[in-house]
Amino acid sequence: MSDKIYILDTSALLTFIEDEEGAERVESLLIEAEKGNVTVYLSFISLTEVFYITKKEKGEQEASERLGLIKSLAVHIIESEEPLNIMAGTLKADYRISLADAFIAALCQYHQGIIVHKDPEFEQLAPLMQELRLPYKKRP
């Protein structure tokens, strides 16, 4: 494995899948992961989020297809385990973040990685971890 570790937030995955602004940065990381130049981790909770968001917006078949796409990428999907549970619980107790973001941030802290996101909720955690911010969606 490489020295540089990236953790993709759900927002980064959806940016890549939906070809939003910033998708090329995520694609570049995935290409580098394929070459073995970087390591990319993904929390189990992001799979759940991609599935339910897509199911609500585009139907179950599209949601299943997106999970298949994610599983074909050069990413390591990390399931929950006690150290991550405790870290996520601590973050959730100490900051105003969603439970999903707490797990993703805990994964980032655990692996001392760089979180890739376009979620303003992570800004409050900036002192705790490195981040690569994708362009935020413009509000109408």
Would 99 be classed as within a structural domain?
A: yes
Q: How far apart are CA 95 and CA 75, in angstroms?
A: 28
Q: How far apart are CA 132 and CA 140, in angstroms?
A: 24
Would 140 be classed as within a structural domain?
A: no
* Average pLDDT of the residues of the chain: 95
Is a pLDDT exceeding 70 seen at residue 140? no
User: Domain range for residue 64?
Assistant: 5-133
What is the pLDDT averaged over residues 110-136? 94
Number of domains comprising the chain? 1
Measured at the alpha carbon of residue 112, what is the angle toward residues 132 and 11, in degrees to the nearest 5?
Answer: 35
Is a pLDDT exceeding 80 seen at residue 137? no
Would 50 be classed as within a structural domain?
A: yes
CATH classification of the domain holding 78: 3.40.50.1010
Is a pLDDT exceeding 70 seen at residue 4? yes
Would 139 be classed as within a structural domain?
A: no
pTM (2 decimals)?
A: 0.92
Would 138 be classed as within a structural domain?
A: no
Question: If pLDDT is split at 50, 70 and 90, which confidence band does 23 have?
Answer: very high
Asked if residues 110 and 84 have their Cβ atoms less than 8 Å apart, the reply is yes
Would 122 be classed as within a structural domain?
A: yes
What is the pLDDT averaged over residues 33-43? 97
